[in-house]
Amino acid sequence: MTIQTRKIKVTQEDMDKGVPQDCEHCAIAVALKREYKTRNAEVRLHGSDATPVLVVDGKELNIPVSYENIISNFMSEYDKQYDYATDEEYYSRHNPQPFEFEVNVI
């Protein structure tokens, strides 16, 4: 049985519009809202292993395991989860980039 997937692209524009550390307005949430043509999207981390959870219109999306780390790593960089004295120092070491991932259509 083949599982259908839907590709989500997080663009530079999504990153520019997004608000770091805001689960309803971060770059991934902005991309989900655009892709699903909705105003209701949320991105959060769950559990001690910080598994990403994506919710659109109150429904949790099914993320293939192969994309969980990609999403988590982007969130860490985009949300500035590393401690540096200045933004310049931060961005000299971390530079979040546009990326894409897939969710399973169920």
Q: What is the pLDDT of residues 5-39, one digit of tens each?
A: 999 999 999 999 999 889 999 999 999 999 999 99
Task: Show the domain range for 33.
Answer: 5-104
What's this model's pTM, rounded to 2 decimal places? 0.87
Whether pLDDT at 69 is above 80: yes
Q: Which of the four pLDDT bands, split at 50, 70 and 90, describes residue 50?
A: confident
* 91 compared with 15, residue with greater pLDDT: 15
Domain count, the chain: 1
Structure-token match 């689960």, residue found:
23
What whole-number distance in Å separates Cα of residue 10 and Cα of residue 8? 7
- 82, pLDDT greater than 70: no
Longest CA span, the chain? 51
DSSP state of 94: -
